[in-house]
Structure 1
Amino acid sequence: MNVWVQGRPVGTYPTGPPEVGRGSMRRITEVGEEILRTPCREVAAAEFGTPELAALIDDMFLAMHIAEGAGLAANQVGVDLRLFVFDCLDGLGGRHVGHIANPVLDVPGPAGRRLVEDVEGCLSVPGASAVVPRTAHAVVRGFDKDGAPLVIAGDDYFARCLQHETDHLAGTVYLDRLSKRNRKDALRQMEDRREGVFERREMRAAKLRQRTVTGD
């Protein structure tokens, strides 16, 4: 499998990103909470390169890993910052791992505006999924945790991930892109399945804690 870390190809990379081992447990917010509906503030210049920002990224990777997600925005762990992390398969034989602060989604040219309809879910809408149209290619421009400029490009499912997470930082969830009927259906799915999702997350968290204690 081809792997890109922070948009650059690497030879090998562990299944569990190093950030996961350094992170602390954080709760994932759910749809209906105000922080998911409010545009996030930009990461300030003084915040780049700080231990606090690095620790937040580690915590977000851990939360994403426990919840078996492909991406996670800062407001999904209750933090009002324009920041998201990702560990996403693109559906084309590639894996993309990294983070980006203050991302801006490029407006695609005519060739990149082709919409693809595919199933999408969200860690903040546990247990639900729906078909959402997204462009087949996406580019986000922003900065890494130390303030260095960063460009992340993606195709297929990773393009969907980049668009989904950038939406979160604007206070938008994928439910907002659905018809009224499909949104109601997704919320019914969440009501029916959320407890099972939480049980699986708790089991994964418990296994991770056990591995930490035993050193496995």
Structure 2
Amino acid sequence: MNVLTAPAAILSTPADEVDPADPAIVRLAADLITTMRAAPGCVGLAAPQVGVSAQVFCVDVTGHPKAVTTHGAFVLCNAKVVEASRWRPGREGCMSVPDLTGDVKRAARVVVEGLRPGTGESITITTDAFEARALQHEIDHCAGKLFLDRVAGAHAIHVRKVYL
């Protein structure tokens, strides 16, 4: 799938809640995982980033050097942060903002509730560190927010470094 970049309007518009049992949502979940895995270094992708107004995203921080806790690859629908603590600043990038990174303060420990695509089973994920940051980043996409909306100011935005 093609990943949209800012200032695409869908990236700043809250996405619609979904029926996780809808076959179109199950297909979308699979497509998000495939697209995430095809992009080097990508650890998460939300439906609005591929032009779909749906509260669906995938995350997989497995093997990332900043990951402490990891739950492997998963997709959540209609996810919400229900507990957040230990706020810390950290550098973030995004496929929808390919040329910039930013310093964003996020909770280093979160509890997130969502629904599993296909079954609609309720899932609760308790995590920390990098996986917690990735979850909050993707939930923000579903709420129509980019990491740029969370930086403290222009001093906290940086040109992305490219390593050859």
- Secondary structure class of the residue paired with 1:96: coil
2:120 to 147, 152, 155: 147
Instruction: Check the 8 A contact 2:44/2:59 in 1, yes or no.
Output: yes
Instruction: Check the 8 A contact 2:32/2:45 in 1, yes or no.
Output: yes
1:115 corresponding residue in structure 2: 87
The alpha-carbon deviation at position 95 of structure 1 amounts to: 5.1
2:13 to 38, 42, 66: 38
Q: Which runs of 5+ in 1 are unaligned?
A: 1-25, 197-216
Evaluate the alpha carbon distance shift between residue 54 and residue 119 of structure 1 in structure 2; reply closer, same or farther with a 3 A threshold. same
Partners of 2:114 and 2:125 lie apart in 1 by: 8
Question: Which protein is richer in helix relative to its size?
Answer: 1
1:77 alignment partner AA: V
| Higher radius of gyration, 1 or 2 | 1
1:207 corresponding residue in structure 2: none
Instruction: Check the 8 A contact 2:83/2:112 in 1, yes or no.
Output: no
1:137 alignment partner AA: R
Size of the alignment, in residue pairs? 158
1:212 corresponding residue in structure 2: none
1:92 to 51, 54, 68: 68
1:59 to 4, 18, 31: 31
2:4 corresponding residue in structure 1: 29
The alpha-carbon deviation at position 180 of structure 1 amounts to: 3.3
- Secondary structure class of the residue paired with 2:6: coil
Which is worse superposed, 29-38 or 94-103?
94-103
The alpha-carbon deviation at position 62 of structure 1 amounts to: 1.4
2:46 corresponding residue in structure 1: 73
Partners of 2:107 and 2:152 lie apart in 1 by: 18
- Counting aligned pairs with the same residue, the percent is 32
Partners of 1:67 and 1:127 lie apart in 2 by: 15
Q: Which runs of 5+ in 2 are unaligned?
A: none
1:60 alignment partner AA: L
1:168 corresponding residue in structure 2: 141
TM-score (norm 1): 0.67
The alpha-carbon deviation at position 179 of structure 1 amounts to: 3.1
- Secondary structure class of the residue paired with 1:101: strand
1:92-146 Cα distance to aligned partner (Å, 9 max, x none): 26453101000111143xxx2x211121111111132122111110111111112
1:174-203 Cα distance to aligned partner (Å, 9 max, x none): 0011133136x44xx26x97xx9xxxxxxx
Question: Which protein is richer in strand relative to its size?
Answer: 2
- Secondary structure class of the residue paired with 2:97: coil
Instruction: Check the 8 A contact 2:18/2:78 in 1, yes or no.
Output: yes
Structure number with the bigger relative contact order (C-alpha 8 A, sep ≥ 6) is: 2
1:153 alignment partner AA: T
